[in-house]
Amino acid sequence: MRKRFPLLLLLLLVSSSAILQNDWPVGEQDRGMGRSDQFSSISQENPAVRPIANWTHGICDAVCVQGSLAFIGDGFHVTILDITDKSAPLELSTIWLGGLIGGLRVSGDHLYAAAVGTFWVVDISDPYHPVKHGSLELGSWIRSMRLEGGLLYLAQANGQLRIVNASDSYSPEVVGIYTGTTDFRDVSVLNGCAYIAARWGGLVVVNVTEPSSPSHVATVPDEQIGVISGVCKSGPHILTTGSGNISVLNVSVPSNPVILNTTEHSATSILAEGELVFAFGWVELLIMNISNPLSPDHVASISSYAQTDSWNPFVLNGHAYVATYSHGLAILDATEPEDAYFVGEYATPYSAWGFQVANDHIFANEWIRGMYILDLADLSPLDVSATLDTYGANSLVVKDNILYADNRGKLSIYDVTDPLSPQWLGNYDPEEYLEIWAIEVVANRAYLIDRNLGLIVVDVSNPQNPRFLASYSMLVDNDPDVCVSGGKIYVVDGDYAEKNVLVLELTPSGVQKLGNYSLWPWEHVHALEHYKGYLFVGSSSRLSVLDTSDPSSLEEVTTFSIGIDAMELANDLAYIGGGHQGVFLLNMSDPSNPVHLGNHSSHGDTVGVLFHEGMIITAEYEGGIWIYEHDYDSDGVYSVEEYLAGEFPVETEGAGVGSQPFDVLIVLVIAPIVVLPLAFLGYRRKRGVT
């Protein structure tokens, strides 16, 4: 038996190795990750990457009002406003719901909120301190929500109408579901029937007298009523709107709706207060009177100063409250309909685009309203320290306390040594209107990617008087990037059908081409990073690693399937913003074999990512600024205590991310149970024992 012990030990070690030596990220054992070539399938969160702070005020797409309080969707927050003075709404509080707010309704002390695919009940008895109660995960986007007879009717993008009973605020429940065949955009309830704006599916009528078993009654096809996105009730009538017309229907017989009148006018949403109807369009608000439904009167048209393409406006006591998508809440006084006017607003930042960290502050472009400077000293919450008027900014960079930013067709330069008080230094403002999509600054030279002109190199050694040096004509695709390293300039030239990485060099005679590498067609390249002799090219579906030791002949080392919106490399780690897939952390110590270390599901399209003092900071199109911490040391070592505590993934040599403590349980408990009896059985049979 002594001679058999080494064999048993070997079998145990082999079985242990087979379990531990895998290429799976934590929680992805059933996805067959293999050689890091299936990153596009990753969606689950990984404890190695965790959010610790956020600044997510943004898109405003929903509003409701009760008394002197207004509730608006503000990015991933609901913001509560005191509107006693409608000309100057006052913020009372905000509450984070983890998704873009698509619908709001209020009843008594409870607010009902639809955040992407999640339904929330929030206690607002103290509007200064709202508290989340219960929630429901409903999967698909909730387009619209109506409160009727104590029940909530939710229209979803997957073609479902869900009926929710939230009388128990801690345990809301779905009591009924009706499933259609197309995108449901809006819903209204009248006399026991739900009327659903089903986009290309027309107007769908559903009997909800018995909420637990809703049933189809009738459909008015889009050939008759148009492509509709909004529906509301006015007295005994139903009104619809969409891309081309507003219709008034007689629904006294729900099984046979009759169109009484159609008015040519495009709008997204429609609401009524008595006989007064408000139709909300892209740049115009239409007010109608339907006291005669056969011939509605056009009362007023109001040109909007902002985008008013809202699914969920609100009307109360002669006032319209409009969620203006990119400009926040607008309040319209229509108590005298013929003389309706905008009386007040509450502005919300829109979305983060370019951003960078300097002096423990985040400099973030918000495309509609300019630049915000956020203080990192207190991560929760992130507070705005200062703003800069850089309307329409696409990109920015901070180098040596100097900020360079796209600003209304020119490059503006600021001294941000004191982030609380930025000082304007100068502009690079040529005769051509610049559409700067990317900026890099190295050794007093600014490298600009202009949408129409290609690469522009500017001498910024004297910020008060920037000077043109050279340019290089190239085709600029959406969301481009520029990388400068070792005197070489890396850009991407081409259109949808043909793309090339160009290696350029600035010489006394201008910009010269050294080499190029043909990329895949039909994709957007979003990120270029040069690190330790390799160029990392990130697109909407893959990461390519190119060896740049010979600039005239770039060589591809490897390619991985992972959608990339933004990327930064530091300390042998790659910090990747993967769009809606999440934030990824990769070990790039061996560029030919990246190792996935952790990820966290994203909150919106990630358009920027960077590493700062142990934190991953991302800018997201609909999610604002997010800050993550990660548990991967720069030397790539985890302690045994950390591993056994189950807090970190474990990297195994020559493989991807390794096992959690559960795998150790398999090795130490299950493997011996299987291996030892088999080995002992073989020993008994050799001795002639049965």
Tell me the CATH number at 358: 2.40.10.480
Q: Is residue 302 part of a domain?
A: yes
Q: Which residues fall within 8 angstroms of residue 665, CB to CB, at 6 or more apart? A: none
Query: Which stretches within 332-405 are classed as H helix?
Result: none
Helix (H, G, I), strand (E, B) or coil at 30: coil
Domain-embedded: residue 480:
no
The domain of 42 spans: 4-50+651-686
At 582 the pLDDT is 78
Q: How is the beta sheet containing 142-148 ordered, strand by strand?
A: 142-148, 151-156, 160-165, 173-179
Question: Given phi > 0 = left and psi -120 to 50 = alpha, else beta, which region is 113?
Answer: beta
Would you tell me how many other CB atoms lie within 10 Å of the CB of residue 685? 10
Task: Look at residue 675 and tell me if it is in a domain.
Answer: yes
CA 33, 39, 40, 42 dihedral sign is positive
Identify the residue whose tokens are 């049979």: 685
Within-domain flag for 537: no
Q: CA distances (Å), 410 to each of 281, 426, 450, 584, in order?
A: 32, 10, 10, 34
Q: How far is CA 332 from CA 85, 92, 288, in A?
A: 13, 21, 15
Residue 366 pairs in a beta bridge with: 352, 370
Does any domain span residue 645?
A: no
Structure tokens at 196: 């659903």
CATH number at residue 210: 2.130.10.10
Same domain for 432 and 398: yes
Residue 450: what pLDDT? 94
> Which tokens belong to 425?
């230094």
Closest CA to 330 of 310, 349, 307, 346: 346
306 — phi, psi (to 5°)? -145, 165
pLDDT of residue 635: 47
Give me the pLDDT at residue 367, please.
62
Last residue of a domain, one of 314, 346, 378: 346
Scan for tokens 């990015």, then name that residue. 75
Domain boundary among 346, 367, 395: 346
- In angstroms, rounded to a whole number, what is the distance separating the alpha carbons of residues 34 and 655? 9
**Which amino acid is present at 380?**
S
Beta strands in 443-542 (DSSP E): 445-450, 454-459, 467-472, 483-485, 488-494, 499-507, 510-518, 525-531, 534-539
- Neighbour tally for 214: CB within 10 Å: 22
Whether residue 331 sits in one domain with residue 274 = yes
Residue-wise pLDDT for 183-230, tens only, equals: 899 999 999 999 999 988 999 999 999 999 999 999 999 889 989 989
Residue 121 neighbours by CB distance under 10 Å = 22
Element (H, E) at 616: strand 615-620
Whether residues 323 and 175 share a domain: the answer is yes
> With contact defined as beta carbons under 8 Å apart, do 106 and 123 qualify?
no
Quick count: other Cβ atoms within 10 Å of Cβ 92? 17
Residues 310 and 379 in one domain: no
Residue 340 near residue 347 (C-beta atoms within 8 A): no
Would you state the pLDDT for residue 352?
72
pLDDT for the residue 600 = 82
Number of domains in the chain: 3
Same domain for 438 and 322:
no
89 located within any domain: no
CA–CA distance, 518 with 140 (Å, rounded to integer) = 39
- The Cα 62–Cα 113 span in angstroms is 9
Question: Are 338 and 226 in a shared domain?
Answer: yes
Half-sphere exposure of 192 (CA within 13 A, CB side): 10
Residues 160 and 303 in one domain: yes
Choose among 364, 237, 240: nearest CA to 292: 237
Residues 185 and 274 in one domain: yes
Q: Let me know: does 410 contact 429? Beta carbons within 8 Å.
A: yes
Question: What is the predicted pLDDT for the residue at 142?
Answer: 85
Cα 627 to Cα 74, 272, 586: the distances in Å are: 19, 43, 17
- Please state, in angstroms and rounded to a whole number, the distance separating the CA atoms of residues 89 and 167: 30
Listed residue (608, 624, 509, 626) closest to 566, CA to CA: 608
CA distance linking residue 374 with residue 366, whole number of Å: 12
Q: Are residues 313 and 401 in the same domain?
A: no
- Judgement on whether residues 404 and 439 belong to the same structural domain of the protein: yes
Per residue in 443-470, is it b (16+ CB within 10 Å) or e — as a string? eebbbbbbeebbbbbbebeebeebeebb
> Would 304 be classed as within a structural domain?
yes
**383 belongs to a structural domain:** yes
> In 3-state terms, the chain is what percent helix, strand and coil (to 5)?
10, 50, 40
At residue 23, the pLDDT reads 30
Separation between Cα atoms, residue 504 and residue 511, nearest integer Å: 6
Contact 531, 543 (CB under 8 A): no
H or E segment to which residue 683 belongs: helix 671-686
Domain end residue (candidates: 405, 423, 447): 447
Give, in order, the Cα–Cα distances in Å from 261 to each of 158, 204, 244, 248, 365: 30, 18, 13, 5, 46
User: Do residue 368 and residue 315 come from a single domain?
Assistant: no
- On whether both 252 and 285 belong to a single domain, the answer is yes
Q: Are 473 and 453 in contact, with CB atoms under 8 Å apart?
A: yes
- Stated as kind and residue range, the H or E segment containing 36 is none
Structure tokens at 219: 């459909």
The conformational region for residue 586 under phi > 0 = left, psi -120 to 50 = alpha, else beta, is beta
Q: Which two tokens stand for residue 105?
A: 């309704």
**Residue 413 host element (H or E):** strand 410-415
Phi first, then psi: give them for residue 625, nearest 5 degrees.
Answer: -100, 130
Low-confidence residues of the chain: pLDDT under 50? 1-45, 305-308, 634-690
Round to whole Å and give the CA distance between 174 and 211: 10
Cβ atoms of residues 303 and 284 within 8 Å: yes
